[in-house]
């Protein structure tokens, strides 16, 4: 059965609705960090919320995700054997202190310093060694098995700077961030979390391409998780041509409103019209000037049909708190369970 995985920030751990907690197979807590050569996450106030989730859904797996955009320290700590061993020791201590099921690593990205973090050509090999060290530490500690997963970039730049055929040996699955596929670096409007690429788009990053890239790099289908977005990307001052799709805007695609606010104030409201790209299997909003890309039930349903067809491990979403309508999680669970 394919997995439903959601990222939940520490501030929202205690607020996960009971009916939605029952839908989730895995919760990734966002985020722990690497600071001064140590892995840190000091949130004792979350213990009550974690205990509540366990009582609601005893079969749920809860992982601590370490990293995030602009979260550095990985390149430095992975550079030496001693650093990697310290990472594993600290991670294991946090898993045991909070009663977790494992660690999710969200290093954005090995070998790439675009987020203002340290990077080195040696990250390619050191990332694999870091995962190997962590897996060995987990297996030496208990008779059972802690989980180890990663969140990985959604295009070929990530596999060029990693050894995915080797790294995947130490992982339960690879969560491909098939969102933010465009936006902060581009003025050309388009879908940031589409299933397929539109033939008229100058950029072809999409979920299907990412899956193919990772499989070609040695990651088996049953270890691939694709991503859904509970938030949007928006471009402003886009030409009113083709309802704003694939047009040169006057801004890059910044972080937009979360799904709950889109439903309340934007989708077919206040001048915004919802359009559907049947080729990309993705919706967008346009008011004559502002272009907004996002996921909704229709696009998430297409992604779930796709992952079933391809035999993928599941779908994960960033992030739980974005859906204040409390509809998407239950919808995805229903679609995943549908024969």
The catalytic site residues sit at 108
Residue 173's DSSP bridge partners are: 149
How far apart CA 249 and CA 239 sit, in angstroms, is 7
How far apart CA 323 and CA 228 sit, in angstroms, is 12
Lookup result for tokens 């030409």: 239
How far apart CA 141 and CA 327 sit, in angstroms, is 40
Q: Of 331, 293, 339, whose CA–CA distance to 315 is shortest?
A: 331
How far apart CA 112 and CA 123 sit, in angstroms, is 9
Q: In sequence order, what are the residues at sequence separation of 6 or more whose Cβ sits closer than 8 angstroms to the Cβ of residue 272?
A: 266, 285, 286, 287, 290, 292
**Residue 155 in tokens:** 């295009």
Q: Convert 86-111 to b/e letters by CB count within 10 Å (16 or more is b).
A: bbbebbbebbeebebbbbbbbbbbbb
């Amino acid at each position: 059965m394919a997995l439903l995985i959601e990222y939940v920030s520490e501030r929202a751990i205690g607020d996960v609705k009971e009916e939605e907690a029952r839908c989730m197979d895995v919760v990734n807590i966002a985020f722990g960090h690497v600071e001064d050569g140590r892995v840190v996450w000091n949130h004792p106030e979350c213990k009550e919320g974690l205990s509540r989730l366990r009582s609601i859904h005893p079969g749920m797996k809860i992982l601590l995700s370490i990293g995030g955009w602009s979260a550095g320290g990985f390149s430095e700590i992975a550079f030496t054997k001693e650093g990697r061993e310290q990472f594993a020791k600290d991670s294991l201590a946090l898993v045991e202190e909070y009663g977790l099921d494992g660690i999710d690593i969200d290093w954005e990205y090995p070998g790439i310093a675009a987020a203002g973090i340290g990077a080195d050509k040696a990250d390619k090999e050191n990332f694999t060694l870091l995962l190997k060290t962590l897996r060995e530490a987990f297996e030496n500690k208990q008779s059972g098995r802690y989980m180890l997963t990663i969140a990985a970039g959604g295009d070929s730049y990530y596999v060029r700077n990693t050894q995915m055929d080797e790294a995947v040996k130490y992982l339960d699955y690879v969560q491909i961030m098939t969102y933010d596929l465009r936006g902060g670096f581009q003025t050309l409007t388009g879908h940031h979390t589409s299933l397929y690429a539109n033939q008229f788009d100058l950029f072809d990053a999409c979920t299907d391409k990412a899956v193919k890239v990772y499989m070609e790099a040695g990651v088996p289908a049953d270890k691939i998780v694709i991503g859904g977005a509970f938030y949007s990307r928006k471009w402003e001052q886009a030409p009113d041509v083709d309802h704003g799709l694939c047009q040169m805007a006057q801004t890059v695609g910044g972080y937009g409103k979360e799904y709950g606010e889109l439903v309340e104030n934007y989708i077919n409201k206040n001048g915004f019209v919802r359009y559907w790209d049947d080729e990309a299997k993705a919706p967008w909003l346009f008011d004559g000037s502002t272009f907004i890309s996002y996921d909704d039930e229709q696009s998430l349903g297409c992604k779930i049909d796709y992952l079933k067809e391809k035999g993928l491990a599941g779908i994960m979403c960033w992030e739980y708190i974005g859906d204040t309508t409390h509809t998407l999680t239950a919808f995805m669970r229903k679609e995943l369970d549908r024969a």
